[in-house]
Structure 1
Amino acid sequence: MRWYLEVSLPLNIGKDHLTYHLDVEGGPPGEEGHGSTIHSGPWPPFASTSSALEDAPRTPETEGQRTATSPASETATKTSVSPAPLPAPGCRVVVPLVNRLLIGYVIACHDRPPGFPTMGVRQVLDPLPLLPPALVALGLWMAETCVCTPGEAFHCMLPGGLKQQIGRFVRPGPRAGTADEASFPEGRWLAERGRAPLKAFTEAFPRASRWLAEWTRQGLIALEHELSRAAGPRTTTVLVLPQDRPLDLAALTPKERLAVECLLRVNTPLTPGQLARQAGVSDSVVRALVRKGIVETRQERTFRQVDNALRGPAASTPLVALSAEQEKALAVIRDAARGDRQPVLLHGVTCSGKTEVYLRWVAEEVATGRGAIVLVPEIALTPQMVTRFRSRFGDRVAILHSRLSDGERFDQWELIRRGICPVVVGARSAVFAPVPRLGTIILDEEGEASFKQADAPRYHAREVARQRCRLENALLVMGSATPTLDSYHLATQGTIRLVEMRHRVADRTPPQVQVVDMRHELVARHNRSMFSEALSQALRRTLAAGQQAILFLNRRGFSSFVFCRACGQAVECSRCQVSLVYHSGSRILRCHYCGEARPLPTTCPGCGSQAIRYFGAGTQRIEAEARRYFPQARLARVDSDTTSAKGSLEEILTRFGAREIDVLIGTQMVAKGLDFPGVTLVGILAADSLLRLPDFRAAERNFALLSQVAGRAGRGREPGTVILQTYAPEHHSIRYALTEDYLGFYREELPHREASRFPPFRQVASLLFTAPTAEKGEAAALAFRDRLLAADRLDPTDLLGPAPAPIPRINNQFRFQMLLRDHQRERLTAAIRAALATPLPTGVKVAVDLDPYFVL
């Protein structure tokens, strides 16, 4: 029987879905109706998965994990015959698109022909969906609200180990030997390699892109598609005693008897190495037992160990008495969970004990058989949070973030899906963890911009968490010392329950904050160093007292740009309209947008002068100056350059926690959530750096960042000090950060937002157009604006732009930006979708971002 599947691809092709047909033997069980959507079978889908191909129906095309691609006309007629049941929404299928194969996601299935010719599904990858029904529903909601395809939403939910790709390859065709080498030099290159990735082939011979179809038709080449292998379960060989025959210990040698008695004593399977160690025998003795059949081998499922906690003792920590504010917060959370499950916002100053409230509430949820997801804004915060939670819940805590290997993420997903780990700690994408009985999602540091996904689908973890809680009748708990103005405004309107935690636990004294005006430092003291006199003296006192310090600068690298003092030219990226950043360790200039690297010039590329100077500063320069001024100090730097290797971040933080490091220098990775009692000094070297960004949230982000960094000082018994260096001490974001006065900042910033018609008083969408030429990009953006105006859905005064983006060119693509505002998000998305119905010119792309956090 032929069925018709609506399939959504995880890329933007101008349509949410395409329709394909699938021939099914015998038809599906259960209800069958015209236009019906078929949901087949319960979730979860797999007890053991090694590769999606192993569970898929075998066809000539899929045998051996390789699919040969025929000419387009022949490809369109091939289809896989699938046994019932039909693939349910969320299942992955392999489908043709033009001259290639792609993996798409089923969103619906019908038995009525669509009224136009359809191509066949080439392969069904999943017998049942990898995602539970609630996450399938969440993905469909994301497609509507994030202006993306359902396929893009489903794809971002899966862990990396399950995101298979279809590679394209080329090999010599059956008539390759008949071609003249002069007219077809590609043939010799291909014959020498036998088979090559299509990308490598077209890069070696640029004309090949235009001739692929013709060469395939002539039989000179053959194109192939290959499905990558998914991450799978790890198995380990273990030894067991046979159950079907008695043991004759007298017939064994003394060493063999020791090994068998060890197996009997532990009464659990052991690996060959474990048995040899525990019994005190050699490996050859164990092998002899296997060879004689005295012990048997079997494969046992094991899970890859993820060590993302700080090394050191992880024993259960004793429960401390809660403060009155903590008790109140816990009572409000309980009341919300038992009542209307209205989201809860814990607004607590730094060191007010929010994490302890999270731990107590999660313990109550786990005790009732429900699970919890704890989201942290930075991977840097994951080790400390994991350590805290594992001290209470042991091995029942799973970890999810992008630095895990594919195999590790696969195993963490399995542990979560099976209910073995009811508690999940992770960064933004952990909001999609398949917790079976979800009770709570916690967003720690709710105000952080890193909860917003920068690439499609551009979701905000807070909004996704809110919708998931609605779908699964769970409770959303948000905590922050500096919540977003949007969330706090909702709390004042009664949409969110608000709990104020105004005091530090154990009556700890807030740090003393000293502001240094760097303009005065230069004029009065002639100090051109990055360290003010006040910061230098405070750092000397801290080191002399055997205490620790954190130095914060929100910029990595040695200098922000290299400049010629003779002609005034800065060394720029050849592909992006930005200055290259100097990295002293490798002595190279690097673009932080496209990755271009080049050696440090000794003369100006423009005028040939040798007057090359470094301007601005990054974490590498701060480290170099600190080593020069404080040679006795033990220093470490934390930024994306020093923590790219696996385990490097955990190692640095572990050493800092063990007081093997005196001064930690870092970017925003050290700004939030870290809790080290030995830190008594925090130096903020450029407190106004965010204020220079063309972003309506610049003041809010600056206030939040300064408040969070300052909160790292004085978390132990000793009082803390914060030295804040700035060129704009009068700015309100800095003034209120000095005393951690969130309400003062909120009351002053809110009128600015209302007057300029920005959130929380309007919904905002950003449209970023990219094109190979400036003229083409601007024309496409203007035409899009005309379509928006013609639809008469939005107020013309709420259409800002188009104008060149703050960074007008990246990777040789010219960029134009437009901002849209409206009271209702639904009206914004409807207007954008209507305008997107008209295809953009060739070579032009548009990125749609609802509620943008990145406008560069």
Structure 2
Amino acid sequence: MPVYFIDVILPIPLRQAFTYNVNKDEAGFLKPGMRVAVPFGKSKIYTGIVYAIHQNDPPTYETKSIDQILDETPIITATQLKHWEWMANYYMCTLGEVIRAALPSAFLLESETIITLRKDVEFDEGTLNDEEFVVFEALQNQSSLHINDIRNILDRTHVVGVIQNLIEKGVVTVQEELFEQYKPKLKRYLKLKAPFHEEASLRELLDELSRAPKQRNVLMTLFMLSATEKNVESVLLQKKADSTASVIKTLIDKGILEEYYLQKDRMEYTGDAPSEAKGLSPAQQVAFQEIEASFKETDITLLHGVTSSGKTEIYVKLMEEMLETGKQILYILPEIALTTQLISRLQHYFGKKVAVYHSKYSNNERVEVWQQALQQKQKAQIVIGARSALFLPFQNLGFVIVDEEHEPSFKQYNPAPRYHARDTVLVLAQLHKAKVLMGSATPSLESYYNAKDGKYGLVVLKERFGNVLMPEMELVDIRDKLKKKRMSGHFSDRLLEEMEEALQNKEQVILFQNRRGYSPIVECTTCGVSPQCPNCDVSLTYHQHKDQLRCHYCGYSMAMLISCLACGSETLDSKGFGTEQIEEELKELFPNHSVARMDQDTTKGKHAYAKLIERMEDKDIDILVGTQMLAKGLDFRDVSLVGVMNADNLLNFPDFRAHERSFQLLQQVAGRAGRTQKRGKVIIQSYNPYHQILRQVSTNDYEGMYKEQTEERYQFKYPPHYRIIKITVKHRNFSTMDKASKWFAEVLKMPLKEHVLGPVSPPVGRIRNEFITNILVKIPKENSLSRSKGYILKAQQRFLAVKEFSRVKLTVDVDNY
């Protein structure tokens, strides 16, 4: 009698698949890409992915049988599996790690999973069968349950199917971070009640109100505003009529005015029918035609368009053409803040065809988008998302847009797979035979090098939309201003002058400082000691709003010290400054203007970005202070001035990309200014205004920066001329870590010789109580990448066999940039 087996990939970091036995019917029903619940070890359950079904080919170990089949049809496509295998192979991790990163956690139930009851959904208890009802009842008394608890309650091992059904019925959810509920902002508007729309009744009303001049004044102001505004906001009416809320309330009570509310929401598209895309300017039209021509020759094209040149409009035009073919479109962005602003723009053009996918979405929302993409629903014909969106099960991908392709946020550093979304999506597009358009005002050196080399097509768009001039740049020498006593706190007199002028003209200001917190270092003025993190080799950063010292690496925090821990002196002084301190100074300098801050501390919740961007668009904020989040393609119409508080901490960073990154960041921040008719202004404060990069930024000289940097990279053997693989060794004991890293480097140097550098400690040599060291492997373009990786894998296998190093953590990061 034939025996049937299936190979299952489990979402754990082990290199091999695991084989289980199945009966003839199960073997006939199962297909690669379906999920099965399987036992693993003594008491664990995992949800695995079926990889292959075979017969009479038993493994060397005794096989177990599966617990349950969880899907009717595969939830992973063959193309996805092929793509994920490439990722595991290229980024030197296991297929299980890729699957864990790719699938929403609701798809990967395991014995450690915690289930909670959904409170946000009404459902009919009558639809539950007996077992489901028992679980539902248990969750009424307990806030959450482990899968193993449910096994005990139901007195059976195979419970994953029951839980799966409860998730599908919307009764329970897999526990995740508690995301805040977004209450859309409702705005109150006023209009005249219907009976008074006729002239006669209106005259009568005005005569009646002759003895109530304040009420009459409100009505007259309403008529005046109605001539220019479609909807008259209650706050605006009160302000313009110089009236009070009680006068307006009286008019509502009398039945003369009627109030109504409109909400501004970004998530569910409930708007009118999609509108036509804007017409392209002559320069955009030329770029559009060049892209189309380029796609006939090559599958990948780089669009180098200056900030505010209207790249999004070109994308929209290309998407419109692709939609007619019925194919799916993926629009990938580096930052969730950007998706927030872009969703409403794309929904404006494409209505309900736009689906959104990123990590701040709840499990249920992510599972929904996954199913829509898998079933090729209209709802997910255009998917917009951050880097994780490239894992979705596209059936018929035709076009991929990688916006702001130079952004470092496209690279995943932890956990594995340590992939670069821009490079990974190129392989995905190749598998689907889709076209890729990469766009940026400051392309990465690698992409520009490939375009110059003829690997990619290159289209350049040099003028801003509507012929708006590029912002005027001014470099301010802080050292000189300090000498002449022209600094107020961290603001030079030039920056303050320009800010005052912009605010008087009712324009908005953006200030950029790439440090969060109040000040990076607190120091004792008596003995010079500054409080350090007990788990990492870094100073603690002072956060004033919580009166705390915090570590930005491990999250450790303590109350702000009153006296020095070393000498007891109470003279503590803070050095350096972050966004919090700038916000504080601004409130003193501009007490009558509203100031807001955008950094990791203020954008923790699911909709925090949306709220800040909405306030900025509504002109509720006059001055926005922020870190590099501000530099990422946001489009605010009324920002006329951008100030860079201190450009030096960007330039003096120990990284071979520091100068390229500084150029990109400053150019992008500058691009937020003057995006409509009036020319914007950018003021960059620095102790070294004659630095080559600052000169190139102020003259918008990308070509000059590119030539200089590629020449330098060639001399010092860095990308794009060399490939880099970084191996990190970590352990709690310094000598064990040191011994392990030297052993590993020696083994690698045998075959790879001078291409191996290190081990070297990074600038922060201990994080979360683990000592760290790095080994770099630089591989020239002419050497075989796969052969070099083979040597590293062999060294890794030998390393794992050394008992002394069994607890040393070794991570391999391919293309570490």
After TM superposition, the score normalised by the length of structure 1 is 0.75
Work out whether residues 424 and 433 of structure 1, in 8 Å CA contact, stay in contact via their aligned partners in 2: no
Which residue pairs with 1:452 in the alignment? 411
- Return the letter of the residue paired with 2:454: G
Query: 1:447 deviation in Å?
Result: 0.2
- CA deviations on 1:661-713 (whole Å, 9 max, x unpaired) are 11111111111211111000001112232223221111111110000000000
1:386 alignment partner, one of 331, 340, 343: 343
Task: Please give the alpha-carbon distance, in whole angstroms, between the structure 2 residues aligned to 1:506 and 1:129.
Answer: 49
Report the equivalent of 2:187. none
Q: 1:549 and 2:506 equivalent?
A: no
The alpha carbon displacement at 1:24 in A equals 1.6
| Equivalent position of 1:251 in the other structure | none
Q: Does 1:329 align with 2:287?
A: yes
Residues 317 and 515 of structure 1: is their aligned pair in 2 closer, same or farther, counting only changes over 3 Å? farther
Cα distance in 1 for partners of 2:385, 2:507 equals 31
Deviation, structure 1 residue 84: 2.8
Offset at 1:582?
Answer: 1.3
Q: Does 1:144 align with 2:93?
A: no
Match of 2:38 in 1: 94
Q: Which moved more, 1:150-159 or 1:579-588?
A: 150-159
Q: Which residue of 1 aligns with 2:4?
A: 3
Q: Distance in 2 between matches of 1:224 and 1:711?
A: 59
Alignment of 1:333-344 (within 5 A): 333-337=291-295, 339=296, 341-344=298-301
| Residues 113-512 of structure 1 aligned to structure 2 (within 5 Å) | 113-114=57-58, 116-123=60-67, 124-167=69-112, 229=163, 232-233=167-168, 308=266, 316-337=274-295, 339=296, 341-418=298-375, 419-420=377-378, 421-455=380-414, 456-512=416-472
Instruction: Tell me how far apart the structure 2 counterparts of residues 580 and 411 of structure 1 sit (CA, whole Å).
Output: 42
Instruction: Give, in whole Å, the separation in 2 of the partners of 1:158 and 1:650.
Output: 25
Query: Shift of residue 168 of structure 1?
Result: 8.1
- Contact residue 308 and residue 382 of structure 1 kept, 8 A: no
CA offsets 1:477-510 (integer angstroms, 9 cap, x no match): 1000111100100101100000011111111011
Deviation for aligned residue 1:467: 0.3
CA distance in 1, matches of 2:147, 2:761: 32
- State the match for 1:21 in structure 2: 20
Quickly say closer, same or farther: Cα 1:836–1:546, change in 2 above 3 A. same
Structure 1 equivalent of residue 202 of structure 2: none
> Is the Cα–Cα contact under 8 Å of residues 522 and 542 in structure 2 kept in the other structure?
yes
Which of 582, 593, 613 is equivalent to 1:633? 593
The structure-2 alpha-carbon separation of the partners of 1:827 and 1:158, relative to structure 1 and needing over 3 Å to count, comes to: same
- Aligned partners of 1:233 and 1:411 also within 8 Å: no
Report the Cα offset of residue 729 of structure 1.
2.2
State the AA in 2 paired with 1:556: R
Q: Which amino acid aligns with 1:332?
A: E
Amino acid at match of 2:383: V
Structure 1 residue 314, shift from structure 2 partner: 7.1
Report deviation, 1:646: 2.8
Q: Tell me which amino acid in the other structure corresponds to 2:347.
A: R
Cα 1:685–1:86 change in 2 (3 A) is: same
1:848 alignment partner in structure 2: 812
Q: In the TM superposition, what are the counterparts of 1:824-843 in structure 2 within 5 Å?
A: 824-840=784-800, 841-843=805-807
Question: What's the secondary structure of 2:352's corresponding residue?
Answer: helix
The amino acid that maps onto 1:22 is N
Partner of 1:760 in structure 2?
720
Q: C-alpha displacement at 1:570, in angstroms?
A: 1.5
Equivalent position of 1:807 in the other structure: 764
Cα pair 1:6 1:108 within 8 Å, conserved:
yes
Counterpart of 1:12 in structure 2 is 13
Looking at structure 2, the residues matched to 519 and 831 of structure 1 have their Cα atoms a distance apart, in angstroms, of 52
Q: Is the 8 A contact 1:94 1:101 kept in 2?
A: yes
- C-alpha change, 1:515 and 1:309, in structure 2 (3 Å) is farther
Structure 2 Cα separation of the partners of residues 591 and 225 of structure 1? 44
CA deviation vs aligned residue, 1:50-102 (integer Å, no higher than 9, x gap) = xxxxxxxxxxxxxxxxxxxxxxxxxxxxxxxx463234156454241466444
In 1, distance between residues paired with 2:394 and 2:27? 30
Is 1:579 matched with 2:556?
Answer: no
- Going from structure 1 to structure 2, the CA distance change for 1:553 and 1:315 (only over 3 Å counts) comes to farther
User: In the superposition, relative to structure 1, how do residues 115 and 669 fare at CA in structure 2: closer, same or farther (>3 Å)?
Assistant: closer
Identity of aligned residues (%): 35
SS of 1:541's equivalent in the other structure is helix
| Cα distance in 1, alignment partners of residues 402 and 146 from structure 2 | 44
Q: Which residue of 1 aligns with 2:28?
A: 84
Q: Which residue of 2 aligns with 1:208?
A: none
- 1:711, 1:314 → 2: CA distance? 31
Q: CA deviation at 1:223?
A: 13
Whether the 8 Å contact between 1:619 and 1:666 is mirrored in structure 2 is yes
Amino acid at match of 2:3: R
* Paired residues of 1:376 and 1:426 also in contact (CA < 8 A): yes
1:442 to 1:409, Cα distance in 2 relative to 1, 3 A: same
Higher helix share: 2
1:586 Cα shift? Answer: 1.1
Specify the alignment match of 1:248 in structure 2.
none
What SS does the corresponding residue of 1:563 show, helix, strand or coil?
Answer: strand
Do 2:291 and 2:459's aligned partners in 1 also have CA atoms closer than 8 Å? Answer: no
Distance 1:90 1:767, change over 3 A: farther
* Aligned partner letter, 2:522: V
Paired amino acid for 2:13 = N
Residue type at the aligned position of 2:101: C
- Per-residue CA deviation, residues 184-241 of structure 1 (Å, 9 max, x unaligned), is xxxxxxxxx999999999xxxxxxxxxxxxxxxxxxxx999985956845679xxxxx
CA distance, structure 2, for counterparts of residue 312 and residue 721 of structure 1: 38
Superimposed CA distance per residue, residues 528-567 of structure 1 (whole angstroms, 9 cap, x where no aligned partner): 6221211111111111111101111112111112111222
Given that residues 166 and 226 in structure 1 are in contact (C-alpha distance below 8 angstroms), is that contact kept between their aligned partners in structure 2?
A: no
Corresponding letter in the other structure for 2:774: Q
Residue 4 (structure 1) shift: 3.7
Which amino acid is 1:379 matched to? Answer: I
Question: Match for 2:571: what amino acid?
Answer: A
Where 1:94 maps in the other structure, the secondary structure is strand
Structure 1: distance between partners of 2:774 and 2:289: 46
Distance 1:100 1:750 in 2: 52
Q: Which stretches in structure 1 are left out of the alignment for 5+ residues? A: 27-81, 170-192, 202-221, 237-304
Q: What is the total number of aligned residue pairs between the two structures?
A: 681
CA contact (8 A) 2:4 2:27 kept: no
| Aligned-residue offset at 1:716 | 1.1
| Alignment gaps of 5+ in structure 2 | 115-140, 150-154, 172-262
Instruction: Give the equivalent residue in structure 2 for 1:719.
Output: 679
Aligned-residue Cα RMSD (Å) equals 2.9
Shift of 1:526: 6.2
Work out whether 1:700 is the aligned partner of 2:649. no
Q: What code does the residue aligned with 1:325 have? A: A
The offset of 1:412, in angstroms, is: 2.2
For 2:442, what is the secondary structure of its paired residue?
coil
The CA deviation at 1:150 is: 1.0
Counterpart of 1:495 in 2: which secondary structure?
Answer: coil
The 2-side partners of 1:471 and 1:716 are apart by 41
TM-superposed deviation, 1:638: 1.1
